[in-house]
Structures are given as structure tokens and as C-alpha cells.
């Protein structure tokens, strides 16, 4: 498979309304993508309020032979309630996409919380395994948003998982809130194919500080900022494809220019990325290094550095806010929420960066602590 997949989470729209999809532009993008030798299309039940799947039918499956394209879709685990009927949702997905089967099908947005809650409650794995036995899906996988330990547990308990979709990009590689690098290592340990999502971290890596951008453009003026993020992910062993959430023909053409004849990053280019990461890290809202000295002091066991990592992410790209509600919720449930801070000040005495942790945790609480149940 070629290492560049057409992501349909951020399709071009005519207005701010996610349902107001610019179909003529998508037709043009799809044609260009296929003409360039690519064929992997990723969608999900919830993208564009359900209309991403429909757009994919109109632009792809109604216009190209089914066997010439690879269609990936996802069971919307994070939207499920105990009263939902999985068969009905799957039938709706097939109809919306205009297909009889999916090549790749994932349990969407798996976290520890869902893994121990709605997934066993509705027997989601058993359901997906049956779909595979019956030929309605060709490959079963998960898209995953939690830590490496949780991924390890899930992969050891569910050998039927053939592939894992992970958030991987050069900035999150060592981010303790996201754990891209650690999750990648776990997937490799279990010999799972990897599909990469968010290689540009929701657009963050094309909006980097000016001095970081200059390093990249002076190294190679012909390469776009986006190219560094996408090539970083595609260069990793075991990566089947890298999804790019293309929002315009221009973006797609940029992606095609370096993914058509893909060259992995060289050692020199990796060093350049290392320099850029340092600059981006210094531009972040809370200059936490993740040393966790504060954690040893906290009587509430608040995962301070992980919360700060998530907060910094959202401050760099507001598009990440919704996704980070989930990361925050997982951490808060496993440990303690930011709002449980007693303001005792023990952590601040330990902080190697002299951060006003109590004040910053209040900002974290205000930004990320929401009632997820009532939002979905
Ligand atoms: S001030 Fe809050 S975060 Fe810091 S140690 Fe006390 S309870 Fe924990
Ligand atoms: S001690 Fe300070 S720098 Fe270290 S993890 Fe805690 S908040 Fe971050």
C-alpha cells in the first residue's frame, strides 16, 4: 500500500458549517489523488456530522470501481449508548458509503474508559469479529487515544486486532500526554500494522514559530512545512499509510508532491527536526519539562505534567480541544482531575521550572474539564 491516505475528517466546506461540504472540490481532489496512484480513503460515522461518509460515496464509490479503492470506516465507540444497536449503525454506514464491505474497519477512539465500559457492554469486539467472519470487513483494527500501557493491555487481550491507528507526529513523539513514541513501540512489539493519524497534529506543525519554520525552509526551500510532518510519520517501520486530513486541492497537491515518490527522512533531516522540536517546545504556554518531580509531592496524585502537555497542545491548536477532552478525561479518571487540587503548594516547591502549578491547573480545569457524557 502507498503511504499516503486520504483523510476525510476535515473536508473542504463552503462555510463554517461542517455539513456544508464543498463536493465539487472533493471530486477534483479525489480524481487527482487516484490519478496519482493512491487509493486509501478513511472516514468515520461522526465526521462532518455523518456527511463525510456520504461525501465519500458520492466522490469515490459511485465514481470508481469498488475493487480499485480501499475504504476504511469506524464503529463510533465514543458515541455509543447502551441502547444502541450495532447492526443498525453498521448497515447505515454501508449505505452512507455505498459499499457492501469495508476493507479496514476500526473501533473508533479507544480509551481505557471505553475499553472497560461500553465496549464490553455492547460486545463491540465480538461484533466486529463476526463482521470479519462474514466478510463484511476485511481487516479489523482500532483507532487509539490513550497511553502505551492501555494499548499493551488491549493488544494482549485481543489478538484479533490486525492494525492500530495511532496519533503520531514529531512533536508528540515524546509527549507524555499523548505517548506517540511509546504507543508506536507497543504496536511494533505485537507486530501490528500501523496507520498514522494527525501527522501534523491538527495543523500545529504548519503553524510553527517563525524561527523553527526558517530552519526547515532554509534546509530545503522546496519542501513545505507539512512535508516534514508527513514524511516523519511515513518513514517509520511498520507504517502502512499516513492519513492527511486534506482540506483543499492545494493541500492535496502539496502532499502528493513528496508522497508520490516517497523518500524516507535522512539522518540529517531527522537532526533538523530535532532542532525544530526544541524551538516549538520553548514556545509553549506552560514550560513544563515532564520531569514529574511535582508528582511525588502531590497528595492527590494529579498527573500535573500530562495535563500541562494537553493544555499546551490545545493552546497551540484549538482544533485539538475536542479530542483532548478525551485524553483529559482518561487521565482524570485514572488519577485525579485538575479540580481536585487542594492548593497545598507541595508540588510548587518541587518544580524544577518554578511553574505556578496551582494557577496553571486552574487554567487546565477551565479548558479541559467538561462533562463528556452530556456532550456526546
Ligand atoms: S497544590 Fe494541588 S497539585 Fe500541587 S501538590 Fe497540592 S494538591 Fe497536588
Ligand atoms: S516539576 Fe514542574 S517541570 Fe517538572 S513535571 Fe512538574 S510541573 Fe513540570
Span 324-365, pLDDT tens digits: 999 999 999 999 999 999 999 999 988 877 789 999 999 999
pLDDT at res. 62: 98
Q: What is the largest CA-CA distance in the chain?
A: 64
Distance in Å, CA 374 to ligand 2 centroid: 32
Q: 211-226, pLDDT tens digit by residue?
A: 999 999 999 999 999 9
Check pocket membership of 292 for ligand 2, CB cut-off 6 A: yes
Kindly state if the Cβ of 353 falls inside 6 Å of ligand 2: yes
Distance CA 223, CA 228 (A): 8
- Burial group, residue 343, by CB count within 10 angstroms (0-12, 13-18, 19+): exposed
Residue nearest to atom 2 of ligand 1 (CA): 341
Residue 354 CA: nearest ligand 2 atom is 2
Distance 111 CA to ligand 2 centre (A): 25
pLDDT at 119: 96
Instruction: Give me the residue spans of the domains in the chain.
Output: 4-274, 293-375
Q: Flag residues of the chain having pLDDT under 70.
A: 289, 291, 376
* Burial (Cβ within 10 Å: 0-12, 13-18, ≥19) of residue 58: middle
> pTM value?
0.81
CB atoms within 10 A of CB 372: 13
pLDDT tens per residue, range 266-302: 999 999 999 999 998 888 788 776 768 788 789 999 9
Check if 161 has its Cβ closer than 6 Å to any atom of ligand 1.
no
Contact indicator for 178, 147 with CB cutoff of 8 Å: no
Q: How far apart are CA 314 and CA 311, in angstroms?
A: 5
Is 161 in contact with 126 (CB distance < 8 Å)?
Answer: no
Q: Determine which residue's CA is closest to atom 5 belonging to ligand 1.
A: 298
Any idea which ligand is nearest the CA of 306? 2
Looking from the CA of residue 305, the nearest atom of ligand 2 is: 5
- The residue whose CB lies within 8 Å of the most ligand 2 atoms, and thus the one to mutate among 175, 294, 307, is 294
Please state the atom number of ligand 1 nearest to the C-alpha of residue 304: 3
The pLDDT of residue 372 is 81
How is residue 189 written as a grid cell? 512489539
DSSP result, 108-159? EEE-HHHHTTHHHHTTHHHHHHHHHHTTSEEEEEEEE-S-HHHHHHHHHH-T
Ligand 1 atom closest to Cα of residue 358: 1
Q: Is 358 in the pocket of ligand 1 (CB under 6 A)?
A: yes
Which residue's alpha carbon is nearest to atom 8 within ligand 1?
A: 298
The reply to whether ligand 2 has any atom less than 6 angstroms from the CB of 348 is: no
Q: Hey, which of 176, 288, 300, 345 would you mutate to test ligand 2's pocket, going by the most ligand atoms within 8 Å of its Cβ?
A: 288
The pLDDT score that the predictor gives to residue 203 is: 77
CATH hierarchy code of domain 4-274: 3.20.20.100
- What are the Cα distances from residue 375, in Å, to 270, 325, 335, 369? 40, 10, 22, 12
Radius of gyration for the alpha carbons in the chain, expressed in angstroms and rounded: 21
Ligand 1 atom with the smallest distance to the CA of 301 is: 8
Instruction: Please report the atom of ligand 2 found closest to the CA of residue 293.
Output: 1
pLDDT of residue 287: 74
CA of 299, nearest ligand number: 1
In angstroms, the Cα distances linking 36 to 257, 258, 313 are 10, 11, 33
Q: What is the pLDDT of residue 202?
A: 74
Q: Report the residue among 296, 355, 361 best suited for mutation to probe ligand 2: largest number of ligand atoms under 8 A from its CB.
A: 355
Closest CA to 76 of 20, 152, 9, 138: 9
Amino acid at each position: 500500500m502507498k503511504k499516503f491516505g486520504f483523510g476525510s475528517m476535515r473536508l473542504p466546506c463552503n462555510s463554517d458549517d461542517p455539513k456544508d461540504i464543498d463536493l465539487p472540490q472533493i471530486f477534483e481532489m479525489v480524481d487527482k489523488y487516484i490519478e496519482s496512484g493512491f487509493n486509501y480513503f478513511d472516514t468515520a460515522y461522526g465526521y462532518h456530522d455523518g456527511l463525510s461518509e456520504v461525501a465519500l460515496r458520492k466522490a469515490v464509490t459511485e465514481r470508481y470501481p469498488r475493487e480499485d479503492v480501499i475504504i476504511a470506516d469506524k464503529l463510533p465507540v465514543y458515541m455509543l449508548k447502551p441502547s444502541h444497536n450495532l447492526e443498525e449503525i453498521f448497515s447505515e454506514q454501508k449505505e452512507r458509503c455505498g459499499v457492501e464491505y469495508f476493507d479496514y474497519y476500526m473501533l473508533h477512539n479507544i480509551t481505557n474508559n471505553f475499553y472497560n465500559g461500553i465496549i464490553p457492554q455492547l460486545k463491540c469486539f465480538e461484533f466486529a469479529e463476526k463482521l470479519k467472519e462474514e466478510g463484511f470487513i476485511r481487516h479489523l483494527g482500532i483507532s487509539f487515544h490513550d497511553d502505551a500501557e492501555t494499548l499493551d493491555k488491549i493488544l494482549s487481550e485481543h489478538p484479533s486486532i490486525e492494525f492500530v491507528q495511532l496519533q503520531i507526529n514529531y512533536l508528540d513523539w515524546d509527549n507524555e500526554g499523548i505517548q506517540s513514541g511509546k504507543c508506536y513501540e507497543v504496536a511494533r512489539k505485537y507486530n501490528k500494522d500501523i496507520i498514522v493519524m494527525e501527522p501534523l497534529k491538527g495543523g500545529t506543525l504548519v503553524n510553527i514559530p517563525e524561527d523553527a519554520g526558517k530552519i526547515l525552509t532554509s534546509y530545503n526551500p522546496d519542501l513545505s512545512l507539512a512535508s516534514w510532518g508527513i514524511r516523519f510519520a511515513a518513514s517509520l517501520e511498520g507504517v502502512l499509510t499516513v492519513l492527511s486530513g486534506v482540506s483543499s486541492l492545494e493541500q492535496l497537491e502539496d502532499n502528493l508532491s513528496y508522497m508520490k515518490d516517497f523518500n524516507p527522512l535522512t539522518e540529517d533531516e531527522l537532526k533538523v527536526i530535532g532542532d525544530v522540536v526544541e524551538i516549538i517546545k520553548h514556545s509553549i504556554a506552560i514550560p513544563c519539562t515532564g520531569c514529574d518531580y511535582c508528582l511525588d509531592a502531590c497528595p492527590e496524585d494529579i498527573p500535573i505534567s500530562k495535563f500541562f502537555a494537553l493544555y499546551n497542545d490545545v493552546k497551540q491548536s484549538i482544533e485539538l480541544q475536542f479530542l483532548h477532552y478525551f485524553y483529559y478525561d482518561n487521565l482524570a479518571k485514572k488519577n485525579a482531575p485538575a479540580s481536585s487540587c487542594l492548593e497545598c503548594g507541595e508540588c510548587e516547591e518541587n518544580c524544577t521550572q518554578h511553574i505556578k502549578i496551582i494557577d496553571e491547573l486552574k487554567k487546565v480545569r477551565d479548558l479541559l474539564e467538561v462533562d463528556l457524557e452530556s456532550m456526546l
